[in-house]
Amino acid sequence: MKGIPAEELFSPATLADPYPFYERLRAVGPVCPLLGSRAFYVNGHAAVEEAVRRHEEFSARLTGVLLRDASGRASLFDFGGTGTASDVIATADEPEHAVQRRLLMPPMKASRVAQMESSIRAFAEERIARLVAAGGGDWCEAVGEPVPAFVVTQLLGLPADAVDLVRRWAMMGGDMLGGLTDAAGMQRLLVETGKMSAHLGEHLARAQALPAEARGSSLTDTLAGGIEAGLISRDQAIGILVILFGAAGESTAALLGCALQLLLHTPGLQERLRAEPALIEPFVEEAIRLETPFKFHYRVVKQDTTLCGTALAAGDRLLLGWAAANRDPAAFEAPQEMRLDRQQPQRHLGFGHGIHFCIGAPIARMEARITLEELLRQTQWLHPDPGTEAHYVPSIFIRRLETLPLRCS
C-alpha cells in the first residue's frame, strides 16, 4: 500500500512546518494512508468535502487520538473508559448534533454577535495600549490569548476576573490532541479537564437555580433552558461548555498569532492594510486559509467503505485535513500565496464544512478584525523582536504560536 509512515506526522520538521508534509500527502493521493496505523489523512479539498457530507458513514465522535509512544511509533490512545468520549456539538452525530446546534444558534446569531463588538474592542484596545506603551513584548501573552479568553467569559457569562483561568484551560485542548503527550501526561490532562468540568458545572448550576425570566442571554443560560426543556442532559451541557473553551479560545488565539506572523513577514502588507483598512477582512480570510488553526479533525469509519477510491474498514480513523485542503491547488489558484482579491475569500475550510461548520465563525472573524484594526491604529510600525524567535506549540493538531516577540512604535 502506498502511503507515508505515521511517524512522519510527528517529526520535528513536520511539527515546525507542516506544509511540505501536506505536499507529500497530496502526491500519494487525496486520501493518504498513514502507514503503521489505521489512520488516513484526507488532504484534498474535494475529498474533505465529500467525507463531511457522508456523516452517516464517518462518525464525529472523538473516541481516541493518535499519540507518539515511547518507542517513537504512532499509536492510538483509546478514550474508552476514561469518560472523555462525548456526544456534544463538534463531536456529536445526528440526531443529537442537530438538536444541540439549534439550541446554540440563537445566542450566536449576527445581531447578538454584533452587540459584543464594543466590549471586545475596548478590551483589545486596552491590552494593545499596554503592549505599545512597553515598546513591544510577547504578542501571545499580551493580546493574542487574553482577547479570546475575554470573549469566552462574555459568551458563557463568566465573571470578568476569570480571564486568566479561562486562558489556561482554553489552551489545554490542543495539548490533549497534539499527539506528543505520553500516557501519563494524557492522564494528567484528563484530571485537569475534570477540574474544568467541575468549575463549569458549578457555573451552570447557578444559572439553573435562577427562574427562566431572570436569566440572561449567555450560552450558559441557554444551556440551562435546554436542560429544563428536556433537549439536552446536564452532562451534555457541561460537555458543550468544555468544548467551547477550546473552540472559542484556543482556535482564535491561534488565528491571532498566525495572522500577526503573516503581517510581520509579508513584504508590503502592513503598508497596504494601513492605507486600505477595508482589506483587513480579506486578510483575515487568507490568514485562516494559509495558517488554518485546527489542522484536522478526527472521524471514525463506521462501516467498510471507500473514499476517493481508497478502501476503508470499520474502525479506521480519518484525519480531515482542513489545513492541507486549504492549500490544494485543485481548489485555489496559487495556494501558497496570500491574495487579498480572491473571488471567493470564504471558500476555505478553516471553520470546517457541512453540518459541523463552526457556529462561532462570525465572532472569530470579528475578534480578528477588531484586534488587527486596533493594533494598526495604535502603531506606526511593527517588526519582530531582533535576537528572539517565535515558537509554535509542538502539535500535530493545532497551528498555534506559543510565543511571538514583537517590537512596535
Could you give phi then psi for residue 398, rounded to 5 degrees?
Answer: -120, 145
3-state secondary structure at position 131: helix
CA dihedral (86, 91, 92, 97) in degrees, to 10, reads: 130
pLDDT in tens, the chain (409 residues): 799 999 999 999 999 999 999 999 999 999 999 999 999 999 999 999 999 999 999 999 998 889 887 788 888 877 765 444 467 889 999 999 999 999 999 888 888 889 999 999 999 999 999 999 999 999 999 999 999 999 999 999 999 889 998 998 888 877 878 998 877 887 888 888 889 999 999 999 999 999 999 999 899 999 999 999 999 999 999 999 998 887 889 999 999 999 999 999 999 999 999 999 999 999 999 999 999 999 999 999 999 999 999 999 999 999 999 999 999 999 999 999 999 999 999 999 999 999 999 999 999 999 999 999 999 999 999 999 998 899 999 999 999 999 999 999 9
Whole-number Cα distances in Å, 251 to 89, 129, 274, 277, 310: 16, 24, 26, 24, 31
The residue ranges of every structural domain in the chain are 83-291+322-408
Class of domain 83-291+322-408: mainly alpha
DSSP state of 77: E
pLDDT digits (tens, 9 = 90+) for 126-185: 999 999 999 999 999 999 999 999 999 999 999 988 999 899 888 887 787 899 887 788
Tell me the H-state helices in 291-335: 322-325
Q: At what angle do helices 234-245 and 183-209 cross, to 10 degrees?
A: 120
CB environment 303-314: b (16+ within 10 A), e (fewer): eeeebeebebee
Q: Nearest-CA neighbor of 220 among 62, 39, 210?
A: 210
Rounded distance, CA 373 to CA 370, Å? 5
Pull the grid cell for residue 272.
497596504
User: Are 160 and 146 a contacting pair, CB within 8 Å?
Assistant: no
Rounded distance, CA 171 to CA 314, Å? 32
Grid cell 494512508 in the structure block, residue: 33
Q: Nearest-CA neighbor of 190 among 206, 170, 176?
A: 176
Rounded distance, CA 382 to CA 143, Å? 14
Beta 382-384 vs 317-320: how paired, if at all?
Answer: unpaired
Rounded distance, CA 189 to CA 187, Å? 5
Q: At what angle do helices 234-245 and 219-228 cross, to 10 degrees?
A: 160
Sequence-distant (≥ 6) Cβ neighbours of residue 365 within 8 angstroms = 281, 284, 285
Rounded distance, CA 212 to CA 39, Å? 46
User: Are 324 and 25 a contacting pair, CB within 8 Å?
Assistant: yes
Rounded distance, CA 127 to CA 270, Å? 20
Q: Nearest-CA neighbor of 42 among 314, 289, 318?
A: 318
Whole-number Cα distances in Å, 27 to 22, 33, 190, 317: 9, 12, 37, 20
3-state secondary structure at position 248: helix
Sequence-distant (≥ 6) Cβ neighbours of residue 7 within 8 angstroms = 36, 68, 72, 73, 74
Rounded distance, CA 247 to CA 195, Å? 18
pLDDT digits (tens, 9 = 90+) for 336-374: 999 999 999 999 999 999 999 999 999 999 999 999 999
pLDDT digits (tens, 9 = 90+) for 208-222: 999 999 999 899 999
